[in-house]
Amino acid sequence: MNCQSAMEAIRTGATALGIELGSTRIKAVLIDESHQVLATGAFSWENRLENGLWTYRLEDAVAGLQASFADLAADVQAKYGLPLTTVGALGISGMMHGYIALDANGQQLSPFLTWRNTNTGAAADTLTELFQFNVPMRWSISHLYQMILCDAAHVPQICALTTLAGYIHSLLTGRRVIGVGEASGMFPIDPATGSYDAAMLEKFSALVAGRNYPWTIQQILPQVLSAGADAGCLTAEGAKLLDPTGTLQPGIPMVPPEGDAGTGMVATNAVASGTGNVSAGTSIFSMVVLQKNLSKLYRDIDMVATPGGLPVAMVHCNNGSSELDAWMRMFREILEVSGADASNLYTDLFNKSLEGEADCGGILLYNYIAGEHITGVSEGRPLLVRKPENKLSLANFMRSQICGTMASLALGNRILQAEQVQIRQLTGHGGLFKTPGVAQRYLAAAMNSPVTVMTTAGEGGPYGMAVLAAYRAHAQDMPLESYLQNVVFRDAESVTVAPTEEEVAGFSRYLESYRKGLALEHCALENIQ
């Protein structure tokens, strides 16, 4: 699209806007009707460890939302000389799972608990046994039941339970709704109805019946909507909250709020059966759309849904790139102290890793900033270990850093391989894939599958949310998977890397050493307090 066409699209609102509240950035992406990115805006933030629990302050979420939109509006003004007064449709996404409990006045009752917390083991175990369905520790229902088990004082006052995306959406629209993909991280979804599993709702109600709460689980969960559904409009109050300057006008159609897992699937054209994607950021997870049900319940496999409601096997790991980023910050500091140029640090060191040995030379890197349920580690203890004879080179170190971000993921996906789940297309997205042909290559070896990266890989979830906003105008004409395949990504540029036998064998050796070395993580947890 040329500049004049882009200006006309912005003037007339022939656009779609996605804003995603990710774990380290709140990012806004504006696209045109051909799904090309017109402008972006961003705001950086970090989670807090308070009283042993990972959280963000909701006032920081609102401030970050405003800052990312202001940055987007400034980008539009700088590129096209126009104020951003409206868009064709708007969608909000955010980190899946977690716990936001609100009272009758919409006031927060307890700290926002994120997906990163692993204090809900007792609740998750009880609910998994009760439902005969894997309920992970980070799901909203696990957090709620853990609060009940702990007799938290605020529980009787709960009038609404939601996620970060659902909370922001309600501030902007006044409606308490949620997308089916995001809802599947709150409570189990019945694929036949596209809403919460009715039998499991009844089981939960019976479980807590003796406590005589003034609410039922059906009342406090948000209404579930599928992709493209009418999720309200931006109210005057919502417009003022999003853009305190008053430039943005109310009345913009909004789509169901979604989780970052769902938007990642959309951004990588991975919502059809037999497709999958790996999202790599602060956390790392794989999503594989199933063609048939798994043979049994697995505690390491989460059954969730696409934004269109199809069943998905998810392997979620709490620890992604945070430890890698910490090391990179130290390297940057070293370069700055020495007066060297650090502008290409990530690209240079990622490419250097390609010179490393296929098994990382025996160097093991455990990136556990937080606990990791896949490997049974309850708290974070980052760890680097090697035998004296292993070659500690920069190339091997960096290769182990990158492979370490996907090691726990690979362990979880061995289950799907044993179940003979077929993946005809696996796509990677997120910041880890910004340097071409590096993390993509290691992921191919880890998954023993070709991995595709699209040119929009760096935009990731916010772009996927913008596409979901654009889909609202087409939802009556075609299912989401057809819209993505035949419209959005019809001419998309991508690069596919197939694994080599040598690198698959090398990663397998690395992973076996990694698995055996997990005893060191447990030892560190016991002895480093």
- Region 62-74 average pLDDT: 98
* 198-202, 433-437, 459-463: segment of lowest average pLDDT: 459-463
Cβ neighbours for 67, distance < 8 A, ≥ 6 positions apart: 26, 43
Based on the fold, state whether residues 522 and 459 are members of the same structural domain.
no
Q: Pick from 26, 120, 184: which is nearest to 371 by CA?
A: 120
Based on the fold, state whether residues 514 and 389 are members of the same structural domain.
yes
Based on the fold, state whether residues 344 and 468 are members of the same structural domain.
no
Q: With respect to residue 510, please indicate whether it lies within any of the assigned structural domains.
A: yes
Q: With respect to residue 226, please indicate whether it lies within any of the assigned structural domains.
A: no
Cβ neighbours for 142, distance < 8 A, ≥ 6 positions apart: 120, 123, 124, 127, 135, 136
DSSP assignment of 420-464: T---SEEEEESGGGSSTTSHHHHHHHHHTS-EEEETTTTT-HHHH
Q: Pick from 512, 356, 518: which is nearest to 441 by CA?
A: 356
Based on the fold, state whether residues 428 and 287 are members of the same structural domain.
yes
| Percent of the chain at pLDDT exceeding 90 | 85
How many domains is the chain partitioned into structurally? 2
Based on the fold, state whether residues 268 and 394 are members of the same structural domain.
no
Tokens linked to 312: 């998905």
Mean pLDDT, the chain, integer: 94
Based on the fold, state whether residues 458 and 310 are members of the same structural domain.
yes
Q: Evaluate if residue 133 carries a pLDDT over 60.
A: yes
Q: Evaluate if residue 1 carries a pLDDT over 80.
A: no
Q: With respect to residue 363, please indicate whether it lies within any of the assigned structural domains.
A: yes
pLDDT at 492: 83
Strands 311-317 and 302-305: antiparallel
342: confidence class by pLDDT, cuts 50, 70, 90 = very high
Q: Evaluate if residue 172 carries a pLDDT over 60.
A: yes
Q: Pick from 317, 279, 349, 235: which is nearest to 93 by CA?
A: 279
396 or 490: which leads in pLDDT:
396
- Region 348-359 average pLDDT: 97
For 315-393, where are the alpha helices, taking DSSP H only?
Answer: 322-337, 345-353
DSSP assignment of 13-38: T-EEEEEEE-SSEEEEEEEETT--EE
For 197-298, where are the alpha helices, taking DSSP H only?
Answer: 198-208, 217-220, 236-242, 260-267
Based on the fold, state whether residues 424 and 304 are members of the same structural domain.
yes
Based on the fold, state whether residues 295 and 308 are members of the same structural domain.
yes
Based on the fold, state whether residues 416 and 308 are members of the same structural domain.
yes
Q: Evaluate if residue 129 carries a pLDDT over 90.
A: yes
Round to whole Å and give the CA distance between 68 and 243. 10
* 71-75, 108-112, 232-236, 522-526: segment of lowest average pLDDT: 522-526
CATH number for 293: 3.30.420.40
Q: With respect to residue 418, please indicate whether it lies within any of the assigned structural domains.
A: yes
Q: What pTM was estimated for this model as a whole? A: 0.83
Based on the fold, state whether residues 394 and 519 are members of the same structural domain.
yes
Based on the fold, state whether residues 356 and 483 are members of the same structural domain.
no
DSSP assignment of 372-438: BGGGTB-S---EEE--TTS---HHHHHHHHHHHHHHHHHHHHHHHHHTT---SEEEEESGGGSSTTS
Q: Evaluate if residue 458 carries a pLDDT over 60.
A: no
Per the structure, the complete domain to which residue 486 belongs is given by: 261-318+411-497
Instruction: Return the top range by mean pLDDT from 142-151, 283-292, 370-379, 519-528.
Output: 142-151
Q: With respect to residue 167, please indicate whether it lies within any of the assigned structural domains.
A: no
- Region 365-383 average pLDDT: 92
